[in-house]
């Protein structure tokens, strides 16, 4: 009997993590626009939308009760708590996007990246770093979305987070955004060119 491979096992799952303020959103937005057949995985979160953020585009904004209901029903592929809010990716989001034939792109933290790597076979992990912590602080301040206390909180979390991030496969330093975009695209294209047995088998069975 022929076995059917679930769509999420046939596609590549690119997971990008970075300390808040590094420039991950700028980088990911650019790359998702430029690379064909790459969809952004939209997370669920209980945090409030920021100005210009849209429901179902940047995040699925849900209540804590709704989020915890999904967790209790085992419907989340990964989830975590950051700054008192829940963030997570639903299994449905992954399956639905992969079934369109696209690779998926995740902007999630280290704990989420670890959970996805444990549960899915084809996860590629990429860490984005700022050129220095001084530059990180400057970017957080100049973005003007955080008050002083929140900038301090994010810097402290960055230092803690970085201690656990040496297991990622790839690293990109976001100094010049243009160069970082080029590096990220190169990783994606190189991973897509990896030789899988199914390619040769497919040719032989044409
Ligand atoms: P993150 O998603 O990692 O929190 P953002 O993409 O919001 O970070 O970027 C933080 C700030 O830094 C934004 O104001 C953005 O315009 C700026 N930024 C991003 N990348 C660069 C870069 N390579 N050089 C200078 N500024 C940058
Ligand atoms: P922000 O509130 O700035 O949009 O995101 C804060 C942090 O949450 C970022 O580090 C981002 O990578 C992380 N994040 C966003 N969505 C998810 C998710 O679905 N799962 C996990 N584990 N982290 C997420």
In a domain, 170, yes or no: yes
> Rounded CA gap, 59 and 85, in Å?
13
**pLDDT tens per residue across span 2-58:** 556 677 777 999 999 999 899 999 999 999 999 999 999 999 999 999 888 999 999
* Residue 54, in any domain of the structure: yes
Rounded to the nearest integer, the mean pLDDT of the chain is: 93
Q: Please choose from 107, 127, 143, 153 the residue to mutate so as to test ligand 2's pocket, defined by most ligand atoms within 8 A of CB.
A: 107
pLDDT of 1 over the 80 cut: no
- Sequence-distant (6+) residues with CB within 8 A of 5 are none
Query: Using CA atoms, how far apart are residues 172 and 41, in angstroms rounded to an integer?
Result: 20
Please give the structure tokens belonging to residue 158: 């960055």
Residues with Cβ < 8 Å from 53, sequence gap 6 or more? 59
What percentage of the chain carries pLDDT values higher than 70?
Answer: 98
Indicate if ligand 2 lies below 6 Å from the C-beta of 21. Answer: no
CB-CB contact of 198 with 146 (8 Å): no
Residue 1 is assigned to a structural domain of this protein: no
Residue 3: its pLDDT value, please?
A: 56
Closest CA to 183 of 13, 10, 14: 14
CATH code, domain carrying 163: 3.40.50.300
Calculate how far, in angstroms, residue 21's C-alpha sits from the geometric centre of ligand 1: 6
Q: Please report the atom of ligand 1 found closest to the CA of residue 176.
A: 23
Report which ligand 2 atom has the smallest distance to the Cα of 113.
22
pLDDT band per the 50, 70, 90 thresholds, residue 200: confident
Q: Are 32 and 38 in contact (CB under 8 A)?
A: yes
Q: Is the CB of 58 under 6 A from ligand 1?
A: no
- Closest C-alpha residue for ligand 2 atom 15: 108
Q: Is the dihedral of CA 57, 159, 152, 143 positive or negative?
A: negative
Ligand 1 atom nearest residue 177's Cα: 23
pTM recorded for the entire structure: 0.93
Among candidates 8, 46, 62, 30, which has minimal Cα distance to 128? 30
Residue 56, domain extent: 7-204
For atom 24 of ligand 2, the residue with the nearest CA is 108
**Atom 18 of ligand 2 has which residue's CA nearest to it?**
88
In a domain, residue 2? The reply is: no
Number of domains into which the chain is organized: 1
**Does residue 178 belong to any structural domain of this protein?**
yes
Number of Cα atoms under 13 Å in the Cβ half of residue 137: 10
Ligand 2 binding pocket includes 161 (Cβ within 6 Å): no
In a domain, 109, yes or no: yes
Cβ 82 under 6 angstroms from ligand 2: yes
Residue 144: pLDDT band (50, 70, 90) is confident
pLDDT of residue 4: 61
Closest ligand 1 atom, residue 128 Cα: 3
Q: What is the pLDDT of residues 87-119, one digit of tens each?
A: 999 999 999 988 998 999 999 999 999 999 999
């Amino acid at each position: 009997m022929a076995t059917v491979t679930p769509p999420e096992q046939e596609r590549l799952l690119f997971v990008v993590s970075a300390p808040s303020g590094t420039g991950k959103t700028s980088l990911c937005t650019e790359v998702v626009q430029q690379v064909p057949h790459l969809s952004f995985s939209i997370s669920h979160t209980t945090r409030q939308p920021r100005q210009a953020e849209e429901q179902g585009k940047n995040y699925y904004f849900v209540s804590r009760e709704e989020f915890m209901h999904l967790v209790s029903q085992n419907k989340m592929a990964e989830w975590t708590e950051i700054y008192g809010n829940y963030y997570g990716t639903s299994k449905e989001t992954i399956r639905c996007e992969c079934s369109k034939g696209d690779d998926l792109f995740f902007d999630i933290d280290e704990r989420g990246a670890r959970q996805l790597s444990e549960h899915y076979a084809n996860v590629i992990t990429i860490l984005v770093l700022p050129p220095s912590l001084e530059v990180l602080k400057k970017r957080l301040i100049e973005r003007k979305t955080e008050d002083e206390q929140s900038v301090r909180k994010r810097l402290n979390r960055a230092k803690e987070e970085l201690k656990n991030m040496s297991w990622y496969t790839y690293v990109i330093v976001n100094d010049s955004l243009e160069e970082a975009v080029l590096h990220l695209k190169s990783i994606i294209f190189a991973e897509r060119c990896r030789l899988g047995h199914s390619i040769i088998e497919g040719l032989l069975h044409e």
